[in-house]
Copies of this chain bind each other. A is one copy, B any other.
């Protein structure tokens, strides 16, 4: 890497000094060793150390950092816990990385109104930990919940295995405090479901750090259900498993979670954690019911009947919480299990209409042969959210590129059958160039006009979500042409 010239170095010194004047002590990191810890998020194929890392401790510091960056036209990338799987927190070489990890306090818990008010750096699981003694929990449960922060959950509209019944982050967040790039502090939403005026809260959830920086989140907490039980159901064919899922939903049952694993995933998981999964099946369903004991027992009977009528070859219902945990053990270990059988894997995240499941899996198998890469499938079957894991070896020249091309084809397939590019991981840098597969130029232009209403200088997390960003002043209403801001080459690792 060539040495930066004197002008660049002077600019860097000026930015670092300004940040130090706002955030004292160890809250500003500019040493290369320190920066390296922030060079990637969960999408580790892309790495880029930022110009400087700033870790404010108060909303006021966040506002001052953003206002200074706005006044001085410095780009800003917000970062929660850095667990994004779509590169949402990938730094910019000439930008400030604004880490929210030190804003990590729980500010208020109100059981009568069933809400918790927390700072963005609080982890997803810490919310549940804080309220579980009173019998409550926070419903969205992404796999990374022990590490990921609620601020990041808001940015990515995170989901989890229970979002079939309890919704995504957007269905569980009632209000946020948002700091704009100019340092203005907005309050969006409140402590209830209702709002007046334009619903900017729904817009900000899932906006991937492009509209502002969230410094406080009010979430809905739920009473822990009286009981939870799970079913483990094996099928000789993917098609009949998919049909079973469709019939459960059509029967009006909304399980707390309904997960599917294909043969490759079952074998990988079983070899890793010995969960006791049947190995002679093509598909395994884990169906969890929660609620009053009588209701769970009743629904388990109904689902067993549906499974049997679809030719299930094995059915087990958990008789204890320990057994229920064993059913989940393999599913929860699917990602590390993939890591055991392949040097690298690439986890995709697309959604499809439930009924297209068998068709999509068949076509994914054809793609797997074409690309010469194995794929193992775990997915939130109930809401049609696929997580295919493409197995590859980054040390083999060209294999990463092949895996990415395969992944892009999977996402195109999802959109083609009426699904969505992303279920819960966000667009980030990973899927930004696929956005035109899903959206017309008119749709994308309107989304960007809304971005411009928050950040007309395009300083917040540029290079994410939009395949190209048009200068706001040039974003003609009738015609989208010219004026696109060039993104830097993506810093592939």
Contact = CB atoms under 8 A, between A and B. Distances in A.
Nearest to A302: B292
A456 B478 CA distance: 12
A198 B112 CA distance: 33
A418 B298 contact: no
A442 B206 contact: no
A112 B197 contact: no
Interface string A284-303: 00000001101100110000
Contacts of A384: 192
Contact of A112 (B195, B355, B422): B355
A424 interface: yes
Interface in A73-117: 111-114
Contacts of A240: none
B477 A182 contact: yes
Of A167, A420, A422, most B-chain CB atoms within 10 Å: A420
Contacts of A324: none
Interface in A109-145: 111-114, 135
Contacts of A447: 197-198, 200
Contacts of A292: 294-295, 298-299
Contact of A353 (B113, B163, B186, B446): B113
A59 interface: no
Interface in A464-493: 465-466, 477-478
Interface in A203-258: 203, 205-207, 210-211, 222-226, 246, 249-252
Main secondary structure of the interface of A (DSSP, over half): loop
A203 B206 contact: no
A187 interface: yes
A159 to B, nearest CB: 8
Interface stretch (A8-16, A269-277, A370-378, A431-439): A431-439
Interface in A423-450: 423-424, 427, 431, 435, 438-440, 442-444, 446-447, 449-450
B298 A197 contact: no
B453 A449 contact: yes
Interface residues of A, number: 89
A202 interface: yes
A188 B225 CA distance: 34
Given A196-B439, A197-B439, A198-B203, 15 more contacts: A113-B354, A167-B193, A184-B442, A184-B446, A187-B440, A190-B418, A194-B351, A195-B206, A198-B447, A199-B203, A224-B252, A226-B252, A295-B295, A446-B454, A449-B453
Q: 7 closest Cβ contacts across the A-B interface?
A: A202-B202, A223-B252, A449-B453, A453-B453, A196-B421, A112-B355, A294-B294
Interface of A: 111-114, 135, 157, 163, 167-168, 170-171, 180, 182, 184-188, 190-203, 205-207, 210-211, 222-226, 246, 249-252, 291-292, 294-295, 298-299, 351, 353-355, 383-385, 418-424, 427, 431, 435, 438-440, 442-444, 446-447, 449-454, 456, 465-466, 477-478
